Structure 1
Amino acid sequence: MQISMNNIHKAFGKNKVLEGVNLDIHEGQVHALMGENGAGKSTLMNILVGLHKKDKGTIVIDGEEKTFADPKKAEDFGIAFIHQELNIWPELTVLENLFVNKEPVTPFGLIHTSKMKAIAKEQFDKLSISIPLHMEAGKCSVGEQQMIEIAKALMTDAKVIIMDEPTAALTEREIQKLFNVIRSLQKAGVTIIYISHRMEDIFTICDTITVMRDGRSVDTSPIAETNFNEVVRKMVGRELKDRFPTREAKLGDTVLEVQNLTRKDVFQNVSFKVRSGEIVGIAGLMGAGRTEIMRTIFGLDGKYTGDIFVNGQKVFIKSPDQAVRLGVGFITEDRKDEGLVLDFSIKDNIALPSLFSFTQKAIINEKSEREYVELLIKRLTIKTESAQTKAKNLSGGNQQKVVIAKWIGIGPKVLILDEPTRGVDVGAKREIYELMNELTDRGVSIVMVSSELPEILGMSDNILVVHEGMIAGEITRDEASQEKIMTLATGGHLNE
């Protein structure tokens, strides 16, 4: 399928999102689409599949001008879209999610469950997915939900598959599985439009790259004829000299200590320390228990055994409210459902955990609140016309910045970051890394869960690797390598 999008324009009210984008997609390509958050990548694809209507321009498919009334029509035509923000029905089973509105039926009009299971098993085997089909989808991790969405798209027999940040919640092992599937699809003539902020993905799996900046297409090049620095310069309009800022950690006393933390059938005997000014990276494969450990420390997931100490004082954290009052903040990996109130404004989201600091005798000092929010919007360079803009109207990366801003505002002693740069462009990642350095310079302790090994290696002072609910090993910054981390993450042992 050959697709040409010519001179595409789109505005939402006064906000001009696309201002003349050109994109040519050839059959069998893996075509990367890159740009900073807010550059218009997802909007362009939403126009292609009929989720948004273009204001101006043409879409030509196989030589004929074409416009889809809605995404279902596009899917029926052979164009599937795996969105960055997952479309999972949490109360339905994994199997039911795979076949929503597409259930095969028997000659008697009954749902053909055995056929559904056979089709699902075939797709899961291709992706090496081991999630039980009867499990409620809402109980799956974000990474598992991502794999469900990918499997669902592959079941459509699409000729073109749009993948928007498909590996953002996946670990290195799952990413390699996905890449193998993409290569198989490419050999079968399927075209992939691949939106990602992960440079490793782009240079590993893609043939061609189109860079967007400020709502315009800036350049299209074969991957073999460009490089990391050139792509970054085209994306941000400036040189970005180093991917990770220099870290000169000044470590102090232990602020957070966990001893033999256990939740039955989830993780066991987890022990570690985090000192003031330190970034402790938490690595491991999907389902290893990384997020569950952090959620328990923050009081989200109920009873546990073992001990938690904050500033040397033993505490029993029963709720997030208690954790916040102890100076612990938690930036969740699931910004859509847990990190933001999407219908609230940026101002209300950022101020939410800190309202007590603006309140006197049950009255909010609106001037102080407004100044505080504007300061954080400026500091994190959140792209918005106003602090009153609803969070749901921001790009994924700017939503992530709002989540970070709201937790910075509480003045945390310990900040837990679960996939802090998921879906964030390379320029914004650098800003987040610099912010992490600023926080640790002020003595804040950071625990960072990340599936991006370069991020773990580039920003951590100490690295803990989780395997099947246990700490498999601890590696210092100077000793760490991707090979050592993956050895421990897959159940191996170092120095064998």
Structure 2
Amino acid sequence: MAALLEMRDISKAFSGVKALDAARFEVNEGEIHALLGANGAGKSTLMKILSGAYTPDSGDILLRGEKKRYQTPREAKQHGIHCVYQEVDTAIVYQLSVAENILLDRLSGGGSFFVNKRLLEKEAGAVLHRIGAGNLSLGLPASSLSLAEKQLVLIARALLQKAEILILDEPTAPLSLSEADRLFEVMEELKKEGVGIVFISHRLPEVFHVSDRITVMRDGRTIGIQEKEETAPEEVVEKMLGRSFKEEFVKKPAEKGGLLYEVKGLDDGRKLRSIDLHVREGEVVGIVGLVGAGKTELAKALFGASTVANGSCLLKGKEIRVRSPRDAVKNGMALVPEERRKEGLFIHESVQHNLSFASLRDISKRLWINARAERELARERIKTLGIRTAHERVAANDLSGGNQQKVSIGKWLTEDASLFLFDEPTKGVDVGAKKEIFSLIQSLAQEGKGILYFSCEIQEILAISDRILVMYDGQIVTEMRAAEATQETILLYASGGTAANESKDVRLTV
């Protein structure tokens, strides 16, 4: 089969660090080709070169055998290359409606000054139905969408443009199981139509379920290209990391202290209803639920990032009022949010400024920041967390997703914080970085910190938690000890089931 796309000997460097070193990649017509690698391996850089966001320092791109070089994403789109990036907030226009966002490429491409709104909404509605999102209101402002809904809008936008090559960068990260299954169906339909699909994912079960071939990258180089049937998940992970890896995380016990934090009757008047929970010193409490269950809403409400109608919070036995994130930080609370680029980082500021943000009182005198102390603090945390960066002055925007997440976590590593809220901290993170994050959370628990760990990944919740709370439709529906919990039982409750149904066959598909 002739290659639809070939990328040969692609090299690219940023700030003296080589991101790509003679990397190669190819996609055939009607093929789903998975592109894998640890965070920082060069996957996103390679795809940004393909989609016109970056230009390579050297190397060739061939489309149907003809050499191409794109200076802008618009030029790449004109040749049928479309990308749905992992960072959805960089591509969504909040002031526009759902329909307008879906047709954004067409509206910005010139042509008639007048727009037929009815026809526009008909086309947008048709493509949403195609991916199983027909219930999404076309007139809604994009600013009101959830993360999963934003991702679906971007996928719909790409599908509308008759892409020859569709790049999907972690597309299922914010999706529920049913939404992901529908996306896979759409990918199969596009494959039959001859579209070449580049599928980037850290979820190996998905990769082996949907892809035809797998390319593995490490340290900016292409390690190998194989048919899916010729390899196995263990072999892929070993190629990604350059060593054998045992994925299971072995949790070490942390001594539990007294009651640290307690929430009674929390209600936000919208999604959350009658939330009761507590955390002890040194305890990791997992809060698990499917997409839309209310986990992120709860994390934001506890941290003062959204308003609360009723309820009380006690920290170390004393009632606290958290009306804003500033109140939360003053009371020793730290939040690592789900949308790290939008809410967890000053994305265009340096790694140094991001890491020192929560410690400014310790490194400043009156209005003056001690630059030397800030630099030393940043370097220490870069070393402790294993953040891959040329130096502390590199902008957070230039780091890989996993390293951005480490920075987002690292800024809270202060003595003042006693309660940590982690909202989907491993989303878009490779298996190696995931284990490092788990180890960091464990070390915090061993220091006597309280941890609330919010995730829809049931295996993660089982691995890291001491106690598990399951959410469904804005409520905590059950509590269980991690040692007694199973994936099937958690999924049962997370799907709205009850104890009376536990004998039924509940199958987890991940």
Q: Where on the TM-score scale, by shorter chain, does this alignment land: which range? A: over 0.9
| 1:17 counterpart letter in structure 2 | A
Contact 1:345/1:389, CA 8 A, preserved across alignment? yes
Instruction: Say which SS state the counterpart of residue 84 (structure 1) adopts.
Output: coil
Q: What is the CA distance between 1:384 and its match in structure 2? A: 0.7
Cross-structure match for 2:505: none
Q: Percent of counterpart pairs with the same letter?
A: 39
| 1:405 lines up with 2:410 in the alignment | yes
Cross-structure match for 2:69: 67
Unaligned runs of 5+ in 1: none
Cross-structure match for 1:52: 54
Cα deviations across residues 152-199 of structure 1 (Å, max 9, x unaligned)?
111112121101111222232322222222222223322210112222
Inter-partner Cα distance in structure 2 for 1:354 and 1:13: 27
Cross-structure match for 1:257: 262
TM-score by structure 2 length?
0.92
Inter-partner Cα distance in structure 2 for 1:109 and 1:160: 29
The one of 93, 98, 115 aligned to 2:97: 93
Cα deviations across residues 89-109 of structure 1 (Å, max 9, x unaligned)?
12222222112242499x995
Contact 1:39/1:213, CA 8 A, preserved across alignment? yes
1:214-225 correspondence to structure 2 within 5 Å = 214-225=219-230
Cross-structure match for 1:82: 84
Q: 1:251 to 1:178 in 2, by over 3 A?
A: farther
Contact 1:296/1:304, CA 8 A, preserved across alignment? no
Unaligned runs of 5+ in 2: 502-510
| 1:178 lines up with 2:180 in the alignment | no
Contact 1:5/1:57, CA 8 A, preserved across alignment? yes
Q: What is the CA distance between 1:346 and its match in structure 2? A: 0.6
Q: What is the CA distance between 1:234 and its match in structure 2? A: 1.0
| 1:63 counterpart letter in structure 2 | G
Contact 2:4/2:196, CA 8 A, preserved across alignment? no
CA RMSD of aligned residues (A): 2.0
Inter-partner Cα distance in structure 1 for 2:179 and 2:449: 32
Cross-structure match for 1:269: 274
Instruction: Say which SS state the counterpart of residue 407 (structure 1) adopts.
Output: coil
Cross-structure match for 2:126: 122
| 1:28 lines up with 2:33 in the alignment | no
Q: What is the CA distance between 1:429 and its match in structure 2? A: 0.8
Instruction: Say which SS state the counterpart of residue 136 (structure 2) adopts.
Output: coil
Q: 1:210 to 1:357 in 2, by over 3 A?
A: same
Cross-structure match for 1:472: 477
Contact 2:468/2:481, CA 8 A, preserved across alignment? yes
| 1:196 lines up with 2:198 in the alignment | no
Q: 1:456 to 1:234 in 2, by over 3 A?
A: same
| 1:91 counterpart letter in structure 2 | Q
Q: 1:135 to 1:424 in 2, by over 3 A?
A: same
Instruction: Say which SS state the counterpart of residue 75 (structure 1) adopts.
Output: helix
1:208-219 correspondence to structure 2 within 5 Å = 208-219=213-224
Which stretch of structure 1 is more off in the superposition, 130-139 or 413-422?
130-139
| 1:373 lines up with 2:375 in the alignment | no
Cα deviations across residues 195-248 of structure 1 (Å, max 9, x unaligned)?
122222212222211111111001111222222221121111122223323342
TM-score by structure 1 length?
0.95
Cα deviations across residues 97-138 of structure 1 (Å, max 9, x unaligned)?
112242499x99532222222222222223332332222212
Inter-partner Cα distance in structure 1 for 2:355 and 2:202: 25
Contact 2:15/2:390, CA 8 A, preserved across alignment? no
1:278-427 correspondence to structure 2 within 5 Å = 278-409=283-414, 411-427=416-432
| 1:69 counterpart letter in structure 2 | Q
Cross-structure match for 1:9: 11
Inter-partner Cα distance in structure 1 for 2:176 and 2:446: 29
Contact 1:278/1:461, CA 8 A, preserved across alignment? yes
Instruction: Say which SS state the counterpart of residue 169 (structure 1) adopts.
Output: coil
Contact 1:142/1:333, CA 8 A, preserved across alignment? no
| 1:84 counterpart letter in structure 2 | Q
Q: How many residues end up aligned between the 2 structures?
A: 495
Instruction: Say which SS state the counterpart of residue 499 (structure 2) adopts.
Output: coil
Which stretch of structure 1 is more off in the superposition, 435-444 or 302-311?
302-311
Contact 1:353/1:410, CA 8 A, preserved across alignment? no
Q: 1:96 to 1:233 in 2, by over 3 A?
A: same
